[in-house]
Amino acid sequence: MTEPSVTEPTVIAQGQGWLVLDKPAGQSFHSEDGEPGFFAAAEAALCQKLWPVHRLDKVTSGLVLVATSAKSAAFLSKQFAERTTSKYYLALSRQRPKKKQGIIKGDMGKARNGSYRLLRTLDNPAITRFWSRLDTSFGERLFLLKPHTGKTHQLRVAMKSLGAPIFGDTRYGGDEADRTYLHAWALEFNDGQAQQRVFSNPSGFHWPDVPDDWHDPFTDF
């Protein structure tokens, strides 16, 4: 098995029992097919034992919360399980959505080759709220996505259901790009001492500036 890369991960924030790291696009969270993933590489680079609290898809970049003790891992993971954290993502699309803002809701069903699709049923639905703005520099539309659930491929499937698949997400019908333009941008959680709010600006040629009235989503949305 290939040894994990020791490239130093970007530490966005840290506190008692936790770190927030910045995951690059295109890197698997867990090791697979003999290749080290983001989590294993972070442990190797930081020379310490870490505990995963949540994860991101391979194509997604941005904020990842990890614990530095088993006790903190249990405390933080419980918040994700109980959905008391707040997460906001940024996404780009080159296709016009059916509506500019609203809620996308539906059960997730398996499709071919590891993909998923949004169903009309609501037995255990994936729920995503979204807002969007047209970016005049490249003509793409910028989306602010707030998942209220944590289903596999939830945001990617939600965007496809809008008729606006994510730029670069060819699995779900997006146009070709240098990366999949989906980024975990903002995260709020309680570390046992205070509410923590952490942001990570995305990297990639096409990302526009975040609109001024989106800068504090925890208050404004």
Q: Catalytic: 191?
A: no
**Of the residues 22, 33, 57, 123, which is catalytic?**
57
DSSP category for residue 79: H
Give the total residue count for the chain.
Answer: 221
Burial class of residue 184 (count of CB atoms within 10 Å of its CB; 0-12, 13-18, 19+)? buried
Query: How far apart (Å, rounded) are the C-alpha atoms in residues 75 and 2?
Result: 32
Query: How far apart (Å, rounded) are the C-alpha atoms in residues 215 and 74?
Result: 30
Distances, alpha carbon 116 to alpha carbons 87, 104, 119, in Å? 21, 15, 10
Distances, alpha carbon 163 to alpha carbons 90, 116, 136, 171, in Å? 17, 15, 20, 14
Active site residues: 57
